[in-house]
Amino acid sequence: MKNWHRLNVSTEGALKIDVPSFCHANTERSDIYLPGNGGIWTFGKDEIFNQAWVDYVQETIPYIEITGALVFWRAPGYQHPAAHIDVAPKSSPSARDIEYEDNGFHATNSSDSMDKNDFYPVVSAYNFTLDPLDDSEMTWYKPKEWTNTYDYAELKKFTNAVHYDDVPLEKLNEVDSIRVGSKDLVMVRTNRLHNVRMGQRERWAISARAVMGWSSWKEAVETLKPWIVE
């Protein structure tokens, strides 16, 4: 089973800010910032996306109700040595009854907890890169020796809003990869260990997050089948 699917959804007109300028001018609100190497920022949907595009996405695919975004920046060649799965607090998932005001996404995904049992794996995200010539690849992994991934990974916390389970790449075999590109949304699997292989170009990736309408990747793929183009 593939770990990504390209969707029949254009990214044209998605963004209402110049993301690199904004992020570099607002490093104090980043979730992680390594000068010269990379950074992660979170946004509520109204801070980063044009409402017309958010509406277009949901009109095209009723199952995708965008709530916010993570922005990932990496310098050319910067290689993170571990893979992770995305986790979010059980107490505050992207649930339907949450009101996303201001940077609501950040607030509602915050937790002080460092107990794994307080988190659930996020199944899917909707990604694109800013650079049409982006040469990085999102990569997926399986442990070399079978194990329950969720037990095996260490919960690491960058900030209250960004939680990852990190596993060193030496313990893993790569099983899939994709060059996401800038033109259309790619649904990517985030509850399997993943990382990014950098190329020669700077990478700016937008990862839209939506209300989670399913509990497994299989269910996500089956539900979105009519809109999958690759």
Residues 184 and 11: beta-carbon distance below 8 Å: yes
Q: How many binding residues for Fe ion (CB under 5 A)?
A: 1
**Nearest approach, Cβ of residue 138 and Fe ion (Å):** 9
Q: Nearer to Fe ion by C-beta: 9 or 83?
A: 83
Residue span binding Fe ion (CB under 5 A) among the ranges 8-16, 24-32, 84-92, 195-203: 84-92
Residue 145 makes CB contacts below 8 A (sequence gap 6+) with: 171
Q: One symbol per residue from 37 to 76: x for binding Fe ion (CB under 5 A), - otherwise; what is it?
A: ----------------------------------------
Q: Nearer to Fe ion by C-beta: 18 or 154?
A: 154
**Nearest approach, Cβ of residue 193 and Fe ion (Å):** 9
Q: Nearer to Fe ion by C-beta: 19 or 138?
A: 138
**Beta-bridge partners for 120:** 88
d(CA 119, CA 156): 12
**Nearest approach, Cβ of residue 86 and Fe ion (Å):** 4
User: Exposed (0-12), middle (13-18) or buried (19+): which is 155, by Cβ within 10 Å?
Assistant: middle
The one-letter code for the residue type at 132 is P
Q: In degrees rounded to 5, what are phi and psi of residue 22?
A: -60, -45
User: Exposed (0-12), middle (13-18) or buried (19+): which is 24, by Cβ within 10 Å?
Assistant: middle
**Nearest approach, Cβ of residue 196 and Fe ion (Å):** 9
Position among 4, 9, 86, 126 found at the interface with Fe ion (CB under 5 A): 86
What tokens appear for 167 in the block?
């596993």
Q: Does 165 bind Fe ion (CB under 5 A)?
A: no
**Nearest approach, Cβ of residue 190 and Fe ion (Å):** 5
Binding site for Fe ion (CB under 5 A): 86
